[in-house]
Structure 1
């Protein structure tokens, strides 16, 4: 697996930022262009977190895709309540720089975005907000109702040191208080109501059977909302919890779905 680090000055964020780019075997700067899958990490991750998935290299090679791994740490890739413009950074700078530097299908038909937990939800938010930009969105255990969260629904699990869910303070420094303009802007159910089903991107969602009850519920809610709006999607509940082992087990199907649907919408 050939991994390249690209760094540039981000006008949106006012500092240097880097992304990791995974190039498939036989990548060439000329000739037939490559489709791109942007992979977004979970809360607290970074641009190398996805590289810990054992199946990633084989999936990228089998489907002839460039993978782009941006990072936002404990912030979401949104324009948030603290004034951080991560959405602008992602949809304009990251996509723009990748298409400037690499041999890509530089159109909606060549772009997909997916993620885990925070990243899975953000993949859906940004696809709903920019349906002209991405043709496919995928999510593993997506935290879709983060804009609707009140209090700390994960309080009973805080004794587990492995828990990577934001506290109330950390959540509100991104989303603002309940009822904020940022929360309204990214409310996925409001965004779905304004989407043209006939020209909609395609969505692939799954969640672990042993995930947190709240996570399972919000994924079922999203499945039901997509169905109610007539949006084409695939939804699965499969063995696993809220962890990267669950993500890795689902990568072959995610990559297959992306490959099947890119260029068809």
Structure 2
């Protein structure tokens, strides 16, 4: 399969995922009765396998997928960096096969050094926070429990330099939250089409005001203060000195993405805080992961090469 064919195949899968995500974001049932699917179905892909671990915070088994490159088995004494991929709303399983193929092809072609990819289970609308109502302690599960589980069972570079956070939409928001709050754990942070990055949660892309209010109530305790207390803005402000010059940060957004304005404001906020970061606006690109990855092209792997050396 040549590069054009691969990108077309990747696009078909990711475009389907984006369409499903859009439909879910419009569904009132999602926010009224959030799907807490702690163990998902298995996804297939090159080097991909499904695993579960026991979460003490949730009191249940939680699943994740992991991609392992060919070099892992071929070099039994070598340790590998880890990408934590944070999916958008709607759940991440449908996109894993195409994403894994994309990672695998880049590594095999020598465009990026070998790395592991952990596809986390962020629920359909988990927002990558510990919910105020206690139903879903996602931040604790992913940052503390899952990260420790991965480092204990795979040959990882278990340092901040060996970890990269990458995510799209809700996952970009999650990457910002984790990366800015825990700079001692994650050196490199990629935020693509990230949202919600605004100061107040009054709207959600492709959702009604009532749905935004329901999300605010379920996850953030029903107040704007609750939303702000766990926002990337807060952690960027509090950790500006620890982030500046020590973390590698990237904001990527399409110029046709409805979250462009919020991302522009967040870009300006990081500049105000004097936190260095890449600001990439992709012409002709909307809120679609395939469009973003296609438009980035080899810049995606250049970023990974810089991150991992």
Give the equivalent residue in structure 1 for 2:104. 57
Aligned length: 252
Q: What is the distance in 1 between the residues matched to 2:266 and 2:260?
A: 10
Q: Secondary structure at the match of 2:164?
A: strand
Is 1:69 the counterpart of 2:124? The answer is no
More helix by share: 2
Q: What is the aligned partner in structure 1 of residue 47 from structure 2?
A: 2
* CA deviation vs aligned residue, 1:36-55 (integer Å, no higher than 9, x gap): 01000001123452433453
What is the TM-score when the length of structure 2 is the normalising length?
0.74
Contact 1:148 1:178 in 2 (8 A): no
Which structure has greater strand proportion? Answer: 1
CA RMSD of aligned residues (A): 2.3
User: Residue 15 of structure 1: CA displacement?
Assistant: 1.1
Counterpart of 1:201 in structure 2 is: 247
TM-score scaled by structure 1?
0.86
- 1:23 aligned partner: 68
Q: Verify the 8 A CA contact 1:210 1:240 in the aligned structure 2.
A: yes
Give the corresponding residue for 1:190: 234
**Residue equivalent to 2:222:** 177
Between 225-234 and 59-68, the greater mean CA deviation after superposition:
59-68
Q: Does the aligned pair in 2 maintain the 1:20–1:48 contact within 8 Å?
A: no
Task: Give the corresponding residue for 1:257.
Answer: 303
From 259, 262, 271, the equivalent of 1:218 is 262
Does the Cα contact within 8 Å between 1:144 and 1:188 map onto a contact in 2?
A: no
Shift of 1:56: 3.1
* 1-structure distance, mates of 2:53, 2:172: 25
- After superposition, the Cα gap between the structure-2 partners of 1:49 and 1:153, relative to the gap in structure 1 and judged at 3 Å, is closer
- 195-204 or 129-138: which moved more? 195-204
Which residue of 257, 281, 291 maps to 1:237? 281
* Structure 2 equivalent of residue 133 of structure 1: 185
